[in-house]
Structure 1
């Protein structure tokens, strides 16, 4: 079963479309403040971005594999590679700049 999850995660992050993963916790105040920023980003980017939210308390294997220790942590994948990674709440400007670099 674990292999099936890992395979699907690998497939998810391997495409041309950037995948932004928000590692959050339900008990995390800054995570709740970050949600509207991510929602606005997704609305503005549309199909040019996949947005995935991962609850760190329910997905320990991937959290450990990626070394996520702070919430929220944002990781943007493209072609199976980490293209951007930051802990804490990021501004929409920082996120848009990271995505713009992937389109250059």
Structure 2
């Protein structure tokens, strides 16, 4: 199984959703991210990281509010946003970094 580091160091863009199960806005984003994942399949990855279960990653990337989305490519942060977004906003961010 690939590690978080392996995944974000990919040549493909990787959108990481830092979330928590108890977070209302995070729950709102779940179906949006699910749809987005199927639309960008093969071009980019969309993964979810539970901040309660992965506190080290939350500290490393200074996650202060959730949901926070970070777009990585080759280990570099290309884009970051806290709060909810539309599928179209997220898709255009990903497509601008393909």
TM over 0.5: same fold?
A: yes
Once residues 61 and 72 of structure 1 are traced to their aligned partners in structure 2, the CA distance between those partners, rounded to angstroms, is: 16
- Choose which of 7, 12, 27 in structure 2 pairs with 1:17: 12
Residue 47 (structure 1) aligns with: 42
Q: Which has the higher contact order (CA 8 A, sep 6+)?
A: 2
User: Which runs of 5 or more structure 1 residues have no equivalent in the other structure?
Assistant: 1-7
Aligned residue pair count: 97
Over residues 32-60 of structure 1, what are the superposed CA-to-partner deviations in whole Å (9 max), with x where a residue is unaligned?
A: 00001101111111121212111111111
Residue 56 (structure 1) aligns with: 51
More helix by share: 1
Once residues 29 and 38 of structure 1 are traced to their aligned partners in structure 2, the CA distance between those partners, rounded to angstroms, is: 15
- TM-score between both structures, scaled by the size of structure 2: 0.92
User: Cα offset for 1:9?
Assistant: 2.5
Residue 23 (structure 2) aligns with: 28
**Aligned-residue CA RMSD in angstroms?**
1.4
- Choose which of 81, 84, 87 in structure 2 pairs with 1:86: 81
- TM-score between both structures, scaled by the size of structure 1: 0.87
